[in-house]
Amino acid sequence: MGYNVLITAPKIAQEGLDMLDARGANTITIPGYPTEQELIDLVVQNKIDAIILSIGMISANVIDAAPNLRVISKHGIGVDNADVAHATAKGIPVVNGRHSNSQSVAEHALGMIIAQMKDFRRLDKNTRGKTWEKTSFRGMELAGKHVGIVGFGGNGSRFARLLKPFGVKISVYDPYLPDSVFEKEGVTRVASVEDFISDADVISIHSPLTPESRHMFNAALIGKMKPTAYLNNPARGGIIDEDALYEALRDNRIAGAALDVFETEPPAKDHPLFTLDNIMVSPHIAGITAEALTRMATMAVENIYAVLDETPLDPECSINPDTLPDACRANW
């Protein structure tokens, strides 16, 4: 059967499109960030059976406008741009590409940290501007430092593994995992971010955006960081209070920050953070590499058809497992 599949992006990796074509899917894409009304119009006009969610928000109104909708499949990992509670209430499975871009995000996080500690951004700009800083520049080594990690799922744990050769001390806050996970990775589990906030040289965020994590890094918490410390967020906008971060960076109360995500995306062109020299930013692309895009696309399609065909699904890919057909949970 040729299902109607909405992809909320201009395109996905060709491997994913080829899989959809092989199944006779009628595929609809969108040119850019869609409004809620644009999504509603698309799901109504095309009688959408499945959504591959990349950009845009699948709100309760969009879900209600799609009576044929049987599955929402995330192109990637984070599902904060879908109303999971409403989908669950309507009996619609939400699935994701668990670990599909974890390596890419972890590498991006490590790269941003080293770039900050070595001040690559300023050195590149000044060297091109004929300022030769060989005798005056002083960078910082990552080796031997204390790194605090918030969130220890696929991205956080992969990031910790990349840190190991640097001989750093790793402290991790994640209240949702068993002790065995931390023991296996050889890291120190802490009961609260407060346990490392004042000692860590680098803090890297790898947790999902939830009501509990929203503005976790507020003025009070950022205020407890060392003035030589760096704050890194390749996870989700909204976890850091951007006004509080701006004030801390402006007043040099912390050494720097690196953001791949923002509370509103895309951010305003005149965002106050963009006026500062001690922050590095990128446009929510930490997980975007050729390899990750292929994994994200193929997993998104595989997960759609696992639900539609009622065949076994990887349990780590299910966000609301109670909505799945029994056959999808076989052998769990």
Tokens of 187: 């890291």
> Is 8 in contact with 31 (CB distance < 8 Å)?
no
Domain boundaries, the chain: 4-100+290-329, 102-281
Fold of the CATH domain 102-281: Rossmann fold (3.40.50)
Q: pLDDT digits over 32-91, tens only?
A: 899 999 999 999 999 999 999 999 999 999 999 999 999 999 999 989 999 999 999 999
Tokens of 28: 């609809």
What residues have CB less than 8 Å from 326, skipping those under 6 apart? none
Q: What is the DSSP string of 229-241?
A: -EEEE-S-TTSB-
- What average pLDDT does the structure give for the chain? 96
* Choice among 242, 284, 295, 302 that is catalytic: 284
Closest Cα to residue 176, out of 224, 212, 215, 221?
212
Cα–Cα distance, 54 to 84 (Å, whole number) = 15
| Residue 291 appears among annotated catalytic residues | no
Write down the pTM of the prediction. 0.87
pLDDT at 130: 86
Q: pLDDT digits over 79-129, tens only?
A: 999 999 999 999 999 999 989 999 999 999 999 999 999 999 999 999 999
* Choice among 141, 265, 291, 316 that is catalytic: 265
Q: pLDDT digits over 240-271, tens only?
A: 999 999 999 999 999 999 999 999 999 999 99
| Residue 316 appears among annotated catalytic residues | no
Angle between helices 154-163 and 102-117 (to 10 degrees): 50
pLDDT at 320: 97
Residue range 155-183: mean pLDDT, rounded:
97
Residue 1 above 80 pLDDT? no
What residues have CB less than 8 Å from 256, skipping those under 6 apart? 116, 230, 231, 249, 278, 279, 280
Cα–Cα distance, 244 to 271 (Å, whole number) = 13
pLDDT at 302: 98
Centroid of chain to Cα 260: 9
* Choice among 236, 242, 295, 302 that is catalytic: 236
Domain 4-100+290-329: which CATH class? alpha beta
Q: pLDDT digits over 278-332, tens only?
A: 999 999 999 999 999 999 999 999 999 999 999 999 999 999 999 999 999 988 8
Q: Give one word for 331, left, alpha or beta, with left for phi > 0 and alpha for psi -120 to 50.
A: left
DSSP SS3 for 26: strand
| Residue 23 appears among annotated catalytic residues | no
pLDDT at 331: 84
